[in-house]
Structure 1
Amino acid sequence: MRVPLSWLREYVDLPAGETGRDVAARLVAAGLEVETVEQLGADLKGPLVVGQVLAIEELTGFKKPIRYCQVDVGDANGTGEPQNIVCGARNFAVGDKVVVVLPGAVLPGPFPIAARQTYGKTSEGMICSARELGMGDDHDGIIVLPPEHVPGTDAIELLELVDEVLDIAVTPDRGYCLSLRGVAREAAIAYDRPLADPALLDVPQANSAGYPVRIDDPVGCDRFTARTVTGVEPSALSPIWLQRRLQKAGMRPVSLTVDITNYVMLEIGQPLHAYDRTRLTGTVSVRRAQPGEKLRTLDGTDRRLSAEDLLICDESGPIGLAGVMGGASTEIADHAVDAETGQVLGTTDVVIEAAHFDPVSIARTARRHKLPSEASKRFERGIDPQAGPAAAQRAVDLLVLIAGGTAEPGVTDVAAPHRPHTVTIPADHPDRVAGTAYGRETVTRRLQQVGCAVTGTDLLTVTPPSWRPDLTDPSDLAEEVIRLEGYDNVPSRMPQLPPGRGLTAAQKRLRRVGRALAGDGYVEVQNYPFLGDAALDALGLEPGDPRRTTVKLVNPLSDEEPGLRTTLLPALLGTLRRNVGRGNTDLALFETGLVFHPKDERTVPPRLPVDRRPTEEELAALDAALPDQPRRVAVALTGDREPAGWWGPARPAGWADAVEAGRTVARAAGVELIVRQAQYAPWHPGRCAALLVAGADGTERLVGHAGELHPRVVKALHLPERTCVMEIDLDLLTADGEQPVVAPHVSTYPVATQDVALVVDAAVPAADVEAALRSGAGPLLESLRLFDVFTGEQLGEGRKSLAYALRFRASDRTLTAEEASAARDAAVAEAVVRTGAVLRGA
């Protein structure tokens, strides 16, 4: 909302020396977001005056039409003689009043003006356009003023070129500040000055002589005011003061009637719409759209309507999208003159609409048709339902005053019964919220300043004003008291934490995992948790894959990503692709975050109260309605895992590195990982490992997968060849209860190393052989490592050799060679029984 300071002063008697920045500081302290304070005309210097064109000489022989003009500027040039000015504009004629800048002046830019030779003539100044004066972007022609202005009049004051404009970012809960009335109220409170409310007008009572209106949907529209003005002069123009206020507020002047409706909307906050009465057919009604209906809006677009759209209609059909944009069929006609008869054409009879619509309905219609407007922006935030009659009266008064119209005595005001909303609040509630003492008198005074009616002593009954639909709960009222008393005055105190509490076990595990991966050379990234079907298609997931069932967002940031992620891989691979595209070819990335799985039954979450702490039952009901949100960790690798150097060639990242990342995560979580071959999208079917952990009951549970991506996925996502990924569910790593990570015991006794090579069938997983060796070796086994896999003709077809290094150690003695050999033999014997292994070389 752009607020000219000169306009604001009409409603609040601000101190004479108060600047725009001073006012902005007061409004910011009151909770408004003033983004900028624009200084209009700060570098403008006169003389800038009104001139009258006396003569025009057309200059020829140039690439574009040029005119040499004589302009009367009165005594502004010190001589009273006409100024000779070269101008290329064509939209003025002899006798017109224009804006002239004389030599010695400075235009915004800054752009100094001096007499100069051009097109073979001496130009003693310049005839100005709106853009050259900083009034707008219109540069198609110069400004032509109304004929009543005297040559030589100061145009800086006439055009109100020097001003300050506050640009306020209005948050959704403060829709009343999308008007001068609302901002003036905040300024009046900030300066403790009285408010000259522009909505306090004498409005005649509703009667049966007004234009007929019927509301068929009282939920979508609970009030509709209509006023009629006849005999409007079609050729009447918006006065300069009205045009300048619209321009400073960021709106473009269009025509008198439209300018007046926009002006009143900016002034009072009530959007208005004007209809050409001669184009209306019968009763005006408010209803929902019917199947198949269409409407051509004022922008010339034919729109197919939805059954949820709220419409303004007459007996001919839809004539407007309620609260969004009017229809072309009842548009106010521009002033024109019939070439044959000389008759003045244009709208002479105007019907003014001032209605109150349901905010949700207007917001959905504006988004559905991609048609945001100044009106819809205000309706969807909630306007004052009591301001309609005053706004209509204000528009009628301006039409009568400026356009010479006559206000018809008929007044239409169709309104649904409305009971004021009251809120009960303890007088000390703001004190408890802010942690300071305001007192009942301060609380009552501040609430009354924002327009509330307050009764009671210790327990206050508060009736919020009609223009504050956001004040619905005690904490809303407490916020008003706190912000008006000053956020800076709220004491800053550190909360008193109970002793003996720190990070939870899950938080500690998450930190250990992050540190472990970072220590292995992975770089952490954070991505948005949004997902679309295109990403799941690129991963090659089958139609029935559970990961395709996502939690859909009601209002997603992007229509292409309407759901919450069920896997970390799409966004992580997108980050990897962007980095590769920027020249980073050797990458190892990881991310930890939540994924979201919808529950089978659609449960509506309860609305928790804000005036008290929710009960345990309410919190449990909220948790039950939320989707399951397990925490996962994923890695992605591409390029070289180890760089080339004097020590040898580079080693590219492979599926084994992804598996090892899973082992790193498991170690940080304090569990042992079991690795088995698997087939699972989006991994390569021959280079995919299932990651499992053993439960307390001996059963194994799947916690994730690791390996190389399928070539089709690599191609679809435009990734480097042989990109590898891993994803693990961190919550499943400790599903049997959080166990503390035990530091390894360091023995002072020497280790005994025994190597064994076992020949097994090629189909036997190495993990099964390893499990058998661990089981048979007994408690003396300290570690076991697979260091070689061999296949060859000497072993026979379908056979492989697995070589393991076994480390044995006792905590209380030095092992003898016989003890180490016995433990090794027991391990081999168990492997023979379980897997059919044969000791190589035996």
Structure 2
Amino acid sequence: MKFSENWLRQHVPTNATREQLAATLTAIGLEVEEVTALGESLDGVVVAQIVSAEKHPEADRLQVCQVDTGNGMVQIVCGAPNARAGLKAPLAMVGANLPGDIAIKAAKLRGVESFGMLCSAKELGVDPDASGLLELPADAPVGAALAQYLALPDASIEIKLTPNRADCFSVRGIAYDVAAAAGGEVAPFDIAPVAAQSDARLAIELNAGADAPRYCGRVIEGVNASVPTPVWMAERLRRSGIRPVSFLVDVTQYVMLELGQPMHAFDRDTLKGSVGVRRARAGESLKLLDGRDVVLDEQFLAITDADRVVALAGVMGGFDTRVTDATKSVFLEAAHFAPAAIIGRGRKLGLHTDAAHRFERGVAPVLPETAIEYATKLIVDIAGGVSGPVVEAALPEHLQPSHPILLRRARLARVLGLDITDDQVERILRGLGLDVESAADGWRVVPPSRRFDLAIEEDLIEEVARIHGYDAIPTTLPGGASRLVAPSETRIDEAAVRRQMTARDYLEAVNYAFVDAQLLADWHLADGCVPLANPLSAELGVMRTSLLPGLVASVARNAARQQPRVRLFELGRVFAANGNEAPIETRRVAAAVIGAARPEQWGGESRALGFHDLKGDLDSLASLAGAQLEYRSSQTAWAHPGRSADVYRDGVRLGWIGQLHPRLQRALDLDAEVLAFELDFTSLFSRAVPRAGHLSKFPSVRRDLAFVVAESAPWAEISSAVRAAAGPALRDLVLFDRYQGKGVEPGFKSLAMGLILQDESRTLTDREVDAAVSSVTEALQRSHGAVIRG
């Protein structure tokens, strides 16, 4: 929210300096982001009029102007492209000092004397525009001090508001907070109703229920729409970040900034019947004020005229019914729309408007009629016209009054940890514009309708603390004993997982939990995704169903910035739709890597990272929980066939590991091969309660065997068969060689493995070891046709 300092001081007179005012706003939660001083040091700058402008004899781009200062004529050499006879513009007289320490002196320019300088807005420090002279209205009084004429000096103050402070999207709303904090009073703002001078009116129909419970309108005939916007109004708009457009449009903007009520002005002669509010129908179209044609659906609220959509309620008006300089009759509208009916509608069309910004956060339901009366007075006083009566349509059952809130004195003291006198509490609450009545144990407070954020006692306590000053609340330690809970031994915590991944040369990534729906579609992961009702942008429209799309996108961004070796991991939640219930959340752990297996170094040759490098990292994670993982060939749509596997533990699938499909890598614009894994966190890191065991004091026996098996036989199946056949004496199984070549037929491979056998109660005999080896040999011959390599 940006506003003029002078405008705020008109509503809440205060002796605070600009710096004190900015500090006060920040201290009470209205954080000041920027203060731009306007029109400082303009002594000696007057309103002047160019009487004649002749071409400079020695320069094509200069003109020699005769300028009326109101106190005589002076000659000015000027190079502005818009300098012309009849123009009124600021003139810095000889001796003036402009912002930036620019001293104005008499000078000769290309041999022609010049006594002063005609100024642009930038040279005066009132606007960044330096394209030409600041053009003043035709009725500007020649000779008047410019600072007095433009109400300078001033400052443009920009504050950052939290979403709950919708009431501060207006100058008057901010004034209440300043009054409460500075001990002042907000100036009365009584708008006398403008008496109807004609019977011109339009009927209003409300057909949107609680979405649009109040709508006010008024017809004003005989308006001179081409009248220029008064300089005081135009300057306040500029200092609030809004460029003046035309008088009728500027009035609606001005009222919105001052009161917080968005408004719209229709050209009455373009409307064909009664005005209504209803839900749009699927396929209805509207040409907006910015010239864009949009197609609506049932989520949008529409303003209609004889059932024709003429505006997008709470967002933007229609092009065909806009006011222009040729407008003679105006229909003013001001309405109350429920925030839920407006939230996200503008962003769905790629729009961000001041009206939508306010309606999404909440506008006081009592404001529409006040805004209509105020805008009518401004229009009639400045542009003339005859006004009809204010027509209001309302659904009282959907306009709930504010309910009283009991603020207990003891509760306030207990929460804040200090005693604030009753007089101070009442002064703060009344300063904020709240209706306060004393009660036996505290106060009964009725918040105004603009304060949507005040609903319970804690809200009032926060208001008292905010205005009294957070720095005035003492720092105290909480009392009572802390309950310590021992961590469960059956669960590996995230900190241990992070340490393990970091030790294996990974960096942690934190990605948004919401992603682009198209990205999930590219991964074939869009089934069951949860769409957001109010997304931050179209690219963040659904909740993620997997960590990998966002994690691989992070890898791609790093690769695009000349990072050849990227190793990222992420711990996070994924979401799946669950009908009408809350989405199902699942914790996952994922990693994605590209580049070399090891950092660049001189001690060995560099090699590309492979599947088994990543598998080793995953096995190290599983070892935290003592888990034995099984890997089976994967048929996942986005996985590289033959280079990926589904990961199992105790027969339950935990996730996936492998290389991305080349087609997906091309779609993601990735040149390097990407290897990744993603597994269920809870299933991977659950473990039985550790139990102490004893070490066998008897020696182990190792037997090495080499089997020739089909090349397609996976090691996971072979190792399972070996473990089952060897029996309980098998302590470990090691694969130490894989060979293909001379001596092994094509289509086959030789796998050399070591069987480590041991018993806890005695030394194994050769006969027992030979029996185990024979059992393994027979089992592999039956299941895989394996033969001992000769």
After TM superposition, the score normalised by the length of structure 2 is 0.87
- Secondary structure of the residue aligned to 1:173 is coil
Distance 2:306 2:721 in 1: 87
- Secondary structure of the residue aligned to 1:9 is helix
Deviation at 1:195, TM superposition (A): 1.1
| Equivalent residue, structure 2, for 1:804 | 753
- Structure 1 residues 755 and 440, CA gap change in structure 2 (3 angstroms): farther
| Equivalent residue, structure 2, for 1:37 | 35
Deviation at 1:570, TM superposition (A): 1.9
| Equivalent residue, structure 2, for 1:340 | none
| Equivalent residue, structure 2, for 1:619 | none
- Secondary structure of the residue aligned to 1:13 is coil
The counterpart of 1:486, out of the listed 454, 466, 469, is: 469
| Equivalent residue, structure 2, for 1:581 | 560
Deviation at 1:828, TM superposition (A): 1.4
| Equivalent residue, structure 1, for 2:46 | 49
Q: Is 1:626 aligned with 2:587?
A: no
Instruction: Encode CA deviations 1:584-642: one digit per residue, 9 max, x unaligned.
Output: 2233332222222323x322xxxxxxxxxxxxxxxxxxxxx331x22222223332213
Q: Is 1:828 aligned with 2:776?
A: no
- 2:74 aligned partner, one-letter code: P
- Secondary structure of the residue aligned to 2:500 is helix
Distance 2:695 2:656 in 1: 33
Deviation at 1:748, TM superposition (A): 8.6
Distance 1:731 1:632 in 2: 8
Distance 2:324 2:730 in 1: 95
Instruction: Encode CA deviations 1:301-340: one digit per residue, 9 max, x unaligned.
Output: 4444444544444459444333333344444442xxxxxx
Q: Is 1:322 aligned with 2:302?
A: no
Distance 1:644 1:196 in 2: 71
The counterpart of 1:388, out of the listed 368, 374, 388, is: 368
Distance 1:300 1:155 in 2: 38
Deviation at 1:491, TM superposition (A): 4.8
Q: Structure 1 stretch 563-572 or stretch 491-500: which is displaced more? A: 491-500
After TM superposition, the score normalised by the length of structure 1 is 0.82
Q: Is 1:272 aligned with 2:271?
A: no
Distance 2:602 2:299 in 1: 72
- Structure 1 residues 807 and 832, CA gap change in structure 2 (3 angstroms): closer
| Equivalent residue, structure 2, for 1:93 | 85
Q: Is 1:72 aligned with 2:68?
A: yes
Deviation at 1:147, TM superposition (A): 5.5
Deviation at 1:167, TM superposition (A): 0.7
| Equivalent residue, structure 2, for 1:416 | 395
- Secondary structure of the residue aligned to 2:440 is coil
- Structure 1 residues 707 and 47, CA gap change in structure 2 (3 angstroms): same
| Equivalent residue, structure 2, for 1:707 | 658
- 1:829 aligned partner, one-letter code: S
Deviation at 1:69, TM superposition (A): 0.6
- Structure 1 residues 2 and 556, CA gap change in structure 2 (3 angstroms): closer
| Equivalent residue, structure 2, for 1:616 | none
Alignment of 1:180-199 (within 5 A): 180-198=171-189
Distance 2:4 2:765 in 1: 91
| Equivalent residue, structure 2, for 1:457 | 440
Contact 2:626 2:687 in 1 (8 A): no
The counterpart of 2:639, out of the listed 658, 665, 683, is: 683
Instruction: Encode CA deviations 1:435-485: one digit per residue, 9 max, x unaligned.
Output: 666587766654444333345434865432122233234443343233233
Q: Is 1:84 aligned with 2:76?
A: yes
| Equivalent residue, structure 2, for 1:20 | 18
Contact 2:180 2:430 in 1 (8 A): no
Contact 2:407 2:460 in 1 (8 A): no
- Secondary structure of the residue aligned to 1:770 is helix
Deviation at 1:786, TM superposition (A): 1.0
| Equivalent residue, structure 2, for 1:656 | 612
Distance 1:711 1:777 in 2: 41
Deviation at 1:701, TM superposition (A): 1.7
- Structure 1 residues 107 and 492, CA gap change in structure 2 (3 angstroms): same
- Structure 1 residues 291 and 39, CA gap change in structure 2 (3 angstroms): same
Contact 1:400 1:406 in 2 (8 A): yes
Distance 1:100 1:745 in 2: 98
Q: Is 1:352 aligned with 2:332?
A: yes
- Secondary structure of the residue aligned to 1:261 is helix
Distance 2:514 2:531 in 1: 10
| Equivalent residue, structure 2, for 1:472 | 455
Q: Is 1:512 aligned with 2:492?
A: no
The counterpart of 2:670, out of the listed 698, 714, 719, is: 719
Corresponding pairs, count: 781
Contact 1:286 1:310 in 2 (8 A): yes
Q: Is 1:766 aligned with 2:727?
A: no
Give unpaired runs (5+ residues) of structure 2.
Answer: none
Distance 2:363 2:238 in 1: 23
Distance 2:721 2:275 in 1: 86
The counterpart of 1:790, out of the listed 735, 739, 749, is: 739
Contact 1:208 1:412 in 2 (8 A): no
Instruction: Encode CA deviations 1:622-677: one digit per residue, 9 max, x unaligned.
Output: xxx331x2222222333221367665422321111122222112101221223344
- Secondary structure of the residue aligned to 1:172 is coil
Deviation at 1:189, TM superposition (A): 0.5
| Equivalent residue, structure 2, for 1:211 | 201
| Equivalent residue, structure 1, for 2:254 | 263
Contact 1:135 1:247 in 2 (8 A): no
The counterpart of 2:580, out of the listed 602, 613, 628, is: 602
| Equivalent residue, structure 2, for 1:402 | 382
- Secondary structure of the residue aligned to 2:164 is helix
Deviation at 1:285, TM superposition (A): 3.9
- 2:81 aligned partner, one-letter code: A
Distance 1:635 1:537 in 2: 20
Contact 1:754 1:820 in 2 (8 A): no
Deviation at 1:578, TM superposition (A): 2.4
Deviation at 1:160, TM superposition (A): 2.8
- Secondary structure of the residue aligned to 1:392 is helix
- Secondary structure of the residue aligned to 1:803 is strand
Deviation at 1:262, TM superposition (A): 2.3
- 1:652 aligned partner, one-letter code: A
Distance 2:512 2:462 in 1: 32
Distance 1:29 1:372 in 2: 29
- 1:358 aligned partner, one-letter code: A
- Structure 1 residues 800 and 234, CA gap change in structure 2 (3 angstroms): closer
- Structure 1 residues 666 and 365, CA gap change in structure 2 (3 angstroms): closer
Distance 2:392 2:789 in 1: 103
Distance 1:350 1:380 in 2: 27
- Structure 1 residues 662 and 830, CA gap change in structure 2 (3 angstroms): farther
- Secondary structure of the residue aligned to 2:534 is coil
| Equivalent residue, structure 2, for 1:526 | 510
CA RMSD of aligned residues (A): 3.7
- Structure 1 residues 219 and 205, CA gap change in structure 2 (3 angstroms): farther
Contact 1:92 1:144 in 2 (8 A): no
Distance 1:191 1:85 in 2: 49
- Structure 1 residues 158 and 651, CA gap change in structure 2 (3 angstroms): same
Distance 1:796 1:667 in 2: 37
- Structure 1 residues 257 and 719, CA gap change in structure 2 (3 angstroms): closer
| Equivalent residue, structure 2, for 1:373 | 353
Deviation at 1:785, TM superposition (A): 1.6
- 2:63 aligned partner, one-letter code: R
Contact 2:74 2:115 in 1 (8 A): no
Percent identity over the alignment is: 36
- Secondary structure of the residue aligned to 1:384 is coil
Alignment of 1:141-220 (within 5 A): 141-146=132-137, 151-198=142-189, 200-203=190-193, 209=199, 211-217=201-207, 219-220=210-211
Deviation at 1:45, TM superposition (A): 4.8
